[in-house]
């Protein structure tokens, strides 16, 4: 387990007209989580590679790209080549997830694999041996501000056991409904990195919200 809990503010909840300022408002964040949606894999359209390239120019915080898109085998590599630190694809969309992981790493990024709330972990354990990050979705992907699904924490516990016993070597990340009410149970289940959107950017002081969430997660372990 990562020694200090990681917090990755999601800019899906930020002010899109002021993204550079919104990144500057959370200077102690571990990652900046960027949700790329194509209105095909999920019923929402957000932003793409040009915006990610612009973000990379204005922050030193590692960019964590979560690609909720069709055909990530074709498109994901460009995000790695642009300089994203971690590029996460959905197992439900990837045609050849093992080859894709290798290509992402060859392009200079960490490789992440995400699973929807209804997708079981077991069939993908061998695939995950090729990945650096497992992103467990705790809401249905597509929109921010949804209610946290407690049931997915069993998948987090499974993943944590596999990492702790050496079967997998990856970071366990969670995305969806993480806030002051839910982060402790996620931390207790074994999450390393917590994506938080409205819990950070709806706060009066987003930077302090990041610190408070990290402290809360650390205290719950």
For the chain, give the mean pLDDT: 96
Q: Which two tokens stand for residue 220?
A: 């719950």
* From 30, 64, 132, 175, active-site residue: 175
pLDDT of residue 221: 87
- Show binding-site residues: 10, 33, 35, 66, 142-145, 175-177, 197-198
Q: How far is CA 25 from CA 58, 150, 208, 213, in A?
A: 12, 30, 9, 15
154 touches 194 (CB < 8 A): no
User: Looking at the domain covering 6-220, what would its CATH class be?
Assistant: alpha beta
Q: Do 173 and 141 touch, CB atoms closer than 8 A?
A: no
Active-site pick, 35, 38, 64, 192: 35
pLDDT band of residue 14 (cuts 50, 70, 90) is very high
Q: Please report, for residues 91, 144, 172, 209, the alpha-carbon distance to residue 135 in angstroms, rounded to integers and kept in the order given.
A: 10, 16, 6, 22
62-115: pLDDT as tens digits: 999 999 999 999 999 999 999 999 999 999 999 999 999 999 999 999 999 999
175 is catalytic: yes
pTM over 0.95: yes
Residue 144 clears pLDDT 80, i.e. is over it: no
Nearest by Cα to 141 from 43, 8, 51, 46: 43
Residues within the annotated binding site for a divalent metal cation? 33, 35, 66, 175
Query: Considering the chain, what percentage of its residues have pLDDT values greater than 70?
Result: 100
Q: Can you give the pLDDT at residue 211? A: 98
Kindly report, residue by residue over 158-206, the tens digit of the pLDDT.
999 999 999 999 999 999 999 999 999 999 999 999 999 999 999 999 9
């Amino acid at each position: 387990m990562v020694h200090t809990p990681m917090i990755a503010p999601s800019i899906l909840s930020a002010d899109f007209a002021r993204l550079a300022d919104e990144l500057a408002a959370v200077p102690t964040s571990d990652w900046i989580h960027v949700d790329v949606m194509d209105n095909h894999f999920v019923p929402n359209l957000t932003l793409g590679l040009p915006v990610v390239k612009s973000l990379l120019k204005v922050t030193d915080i590692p960019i964590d790209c979560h690609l909720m898109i069709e055909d990530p085998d074709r498109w994901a590599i460009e995000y790695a080549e642009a300089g994203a630190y971690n590029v996460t694809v959905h197992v439900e969309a990837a045609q050849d997830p093992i080859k894709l992981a290798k290509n992402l790493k060859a392009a200079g990024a960490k490789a992440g694999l995400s699973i929807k709330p209804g997708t079981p972990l077991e069939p993908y354990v061998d695939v995950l041996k090729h990945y650096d990050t497992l992103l467990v979705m705790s809401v249905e992907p597509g929109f921010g501000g949804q209610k946290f699904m407690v049931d997915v924490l069993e998948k987090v516990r499974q993943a944590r056991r596999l990492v702790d016993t050496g079967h997998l070597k990856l970071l366990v990340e969670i995305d969806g409904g993480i806030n002051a009410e839910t982060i402790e149970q996620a931390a207790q289940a074994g999450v390393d990195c917590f994506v938080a959107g409205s819990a950070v950017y709806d706060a009066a002081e987003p930077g302090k919200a990041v610190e408070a969430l990290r402290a809360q997660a650390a205290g719950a372990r």
